[in-house]
């Protein structure tokens, strides 16, 4: 529901503008405020989980998210809704990373592929089915039910979490790195805000360029500072582990591909084929079906071939089944598009979860609290950058296409070409991850053989009896 609430609200912006008597520019902060609150909260989760325990942090976050959802549904003015969305985002920002912390610890290395494959299904499906669910709620109820639907689910999660989640004592967290929090939170907010304004702001300098550049500078300063202090907010030394670094880079690029695939086709259906939101949501659903199947298959492939190999195979399939979209026309068969979407979704289902799993397998158990928020930050920044790049390119090509429907359809095909380019870079990153895992496996195999030989030699020196 946390991920779903990032996309489900987009389809209700016009209804919000009308009911709350505001402008689209004002109501856009309902989306942006939620995203910025998440960006602030994610870096805090590692320290907070050590300070009060992962279970307690999860339950508190779930309570805040559920309360924020209920308040959003009750909002009577634009500023009330924006404020309550920030509350909802502060709770939701911690739910995903702390939930992953608990899952990874409980699963252990041997069960990690199975657990992460199950976890990956809602992660991939939420952005796909968000517009569909939003369209159904708007058609049969009102925009308030987009928020109310979270309340019974949140209450159920709280009740089950109290009894089922494993309790763990707080750890030594040390003082909160306030300077680091200020740097990374401000940097991520600047990046997230600037990228979210691409395509929606008329002032590209003040609303896009300046926030993005400032965000990058602040994040760089945070990284340099974190490498030179004893207890940074985020342990950036994890990236000296080459497998973790390669897995993070792959996840970053794949997040751009995933969000790009999720936004381009709905826009094509609405812009070129002039379909309503509900029909559009139903026509992009085949990708979700394929992604679900691919995610479940990824578990067996990870166990048999490894995480790096599974990721590389998934990226290759995603690229292969994205090629037909280069030829999109204004009358391309819906059956053909749905078939290709299903196959593309299957490839996507084999990518993100194995890449994330590879990153978790590369770190030690006591590093999970540091690795988890960084994995989430990588995913969110990758998604934001992918959205910004592809929407900017699409708008550029549509502007040059004029009023011709055929030319506009070709603009979508050209934009899909850039999606393929990002995917190609992701393919190289996945191949590098695969090579590193193979090298590590050979090294471990050699060490095991040497250890066995040493044991045998030592036993031969012991007198019989």
pLDDT tens, position by position, 275-297 = 876 787 788 888 888 988 998 89
φ and ψ at residue 23, rounded to 5 degrees: -100, 165
Which residues touch 289 (CB under 8 Å, ≥6 apart)? 342, 345
How much of the chain exceeds pLDDT 90, in percent? 32
Average pLDDT over residues 224-235: 86
- For residue 367, count other CB atoms closer than 10 A to its CB: 17
Give me the half-sphere count of Cα atoms (radius 13 Å) on the Cβ side of residue 286. 16
Q: Give the three-class secondary structure for 148.
A: helix
Question: Token digits for 307?
Answer: 């995480």
Whether residue 171 is predicted with pLDDT greater than 90 in this model: the reply is no
Residues 108-145 have pLDDT tens digits of: 877 888 888 888 777 777 766 676 777 777 778 888 88
Question: Token digits for 130?
Answer: 């968000």
Which range among 128-132, 190-194, 386-390 shows the weakest confidence by mean pLDDT? Answer: 128-132
Contact 355, 311 (CB under 8 A): yes
User: What is the Cα Rg of the chain in Å?
Assistant: 23
Q: Which pLDDT belongs to residue 464?
A: 58
Whether residue 340 is predicted with pLDDT greater than 90 in this model: the reply is yes
Q: How confident is the model at residue 9 (pLDDT cuts 50, 70, 90)?
A: confident
CA distances (Å), origin 115, targets 248, 318, 358: 19, 23, 13
Q: Which residue has the higher pLDDT, 241 or 208?
A: 241
Q: Distance between CA 286 and CA 330 in Å, rounded?
A: 20
* Distance of alpha carbon 38 from the chain centroid: 12
Q: How confident is the model at residue 447 (pLDDT cuts 50, 70, 90)?
A: low
Residues 319-339 have pLDDT tens digits of: 999 999 999 899 999 999 999
Q: Which pLDDT belongs to residue 109?
A: 76
What CA dihedral angle connects 336, 340, 343 and 349, to 10 degrees? Answer: -140
Q: Distance between CA 370 and CA 353 in Å, rounded?
A: 19
Which range among 62-66, 230-234, 420-424 shows the weakest confidence by mean pLDDT? Answer: 230-234
Q: How confident is the model at residue 448 (pLDDT cuts 50, 70, 90)?
A: low
Q: How confident is the model at residue 454 (pLDDT cuts 50, 70, 90)?
A: low
Q: Which pLDDT belongs to residue 453?
A: 56
Residues 389-438 have pLDDT tens digits of: 887 788 888 888 888 889 999 999 999 999 999 999 999 999 999 999 88
- Of 188, 99, 226, the closest CA to residue 379 belongs to 188
Q: How confident is the model at residue 85 (pLDDT cuts 50, 70, 90)?
A: very high
Whether residue 204 is predicted with pLDDT greater than 80 in this model: the reply is no
Global confidence as pTM: 0.79
What CA dihedral angle connects 345, 193, 7 and 351, to 10 degrees? Answer: 20
Whether residue 200 is predicted with pLDDT greater than 60 in this model: the reply is no
Average pLDDT over residues 153-176: 86
Whether residue 465 is predicted with pLDDT greater than 50 in this model: the reply is no
Fold of 1-166: Growth Hormone; Chain: A; (1.20.1250)
Average pLDDT over residues 238-260: 89
Class of domain 240-440: mainly alpha
* Angle at which helices 352-362 and 307-320 cross, to 10°: 160
Question: Token digits for 24?
Answer: 């689209």
Whether residue 452 is predicted with pLDDT greater than 60 in this model: the reply is no
């Amino acid at each position: 529901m946390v991920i779903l609430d990032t996309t489900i609200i987009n389809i209700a912006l016009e209804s919000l503008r009308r009911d709350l008597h505001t402008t689209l520019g004002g109501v856009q902060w309902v989306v942006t405020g939620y995203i910025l609150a998440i960006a602030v909260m994610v870096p805090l989760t590692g320290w907070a989980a050590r300070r009060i325990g992962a279970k307690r942090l999860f339950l508190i976050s779930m309570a805040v998210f559920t309360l924020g959802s209920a308040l959003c549904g009750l909002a009577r003015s634009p500023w009330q809704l924006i404020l309550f969305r920030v509350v909802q985002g502060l709770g939701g920002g911690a739910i995903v990373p702390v939930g992953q912390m608990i899952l990874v610890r409980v699963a252990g290395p041997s069960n990690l592929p199975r657990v992460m494959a199950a976890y990956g299904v809602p992660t991939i499906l939420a952005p796909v089915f968000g517009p569909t669910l939003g369209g159904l709620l708007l058609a049969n109820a009102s925009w308030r039910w987009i928020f109310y639907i979270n309340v019974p689910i949140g209450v159920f999660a709280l009740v089950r979490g109290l009894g089922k989640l494993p309790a763990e004592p707080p750890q030594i967290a040390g003082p909160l790195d306030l300077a680091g929090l200020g740097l990374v939170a401000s940097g991520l907010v600047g990046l997230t805000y600037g990228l979210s304004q691409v395509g929606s702001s008329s002032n590209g300098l003040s609303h896009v360029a300046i926030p993005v550049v400032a965000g990058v500078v602040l994040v760089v300063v945070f990284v340099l500072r974190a490498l030179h202090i004893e207890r940074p907010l985020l342990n950036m030394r994890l990236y000296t582990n080459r497998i973790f670094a390669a897995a993070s880079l792959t996840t970053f690029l794949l997040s751009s591909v995933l969000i790009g695939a999720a936004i381009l086709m709905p826009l094509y259906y609405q812009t070129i084929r002039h379909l309503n939101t509900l029909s559009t949501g139903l026509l992009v659903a085949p990708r979700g079906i394929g992604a679900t199947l691919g995610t479940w298959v990824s578990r067996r492939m990870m166990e048999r071939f490894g995480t790096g190999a599974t990721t590389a195979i998934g990226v290759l399939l995603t690229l292969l089944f994205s090629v037909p979209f280069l030829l999109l026309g204004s009358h391309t068969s819906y059956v053909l598009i749905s078939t290709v979407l299903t196959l593309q979704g299957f490839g996507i289902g084999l990518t993100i979860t194995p890449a994330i799993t590879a990153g978790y397998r590369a770190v030690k158990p006591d590093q999970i609290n540091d690795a988890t928020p960084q994995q989430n930050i990588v995913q969110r920044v990758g998604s934001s950058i992918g959205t910004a790049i592809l929407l900017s390119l699409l708008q550029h090509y549509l502007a040059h296409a004029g009023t011709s429907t055929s030319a506009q359809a070709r603009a979508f095909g050209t934009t899909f070409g850039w999606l393929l380019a990002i995917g190609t870079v992701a393919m190289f990153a996945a191949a590098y991850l695969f090579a590193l895992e193979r090298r590590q496996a050979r090294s471990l195999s050699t060490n095991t053989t040497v250890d066995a030989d040493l044991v045998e030699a030592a036993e031969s020196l012991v007198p019989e009896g």
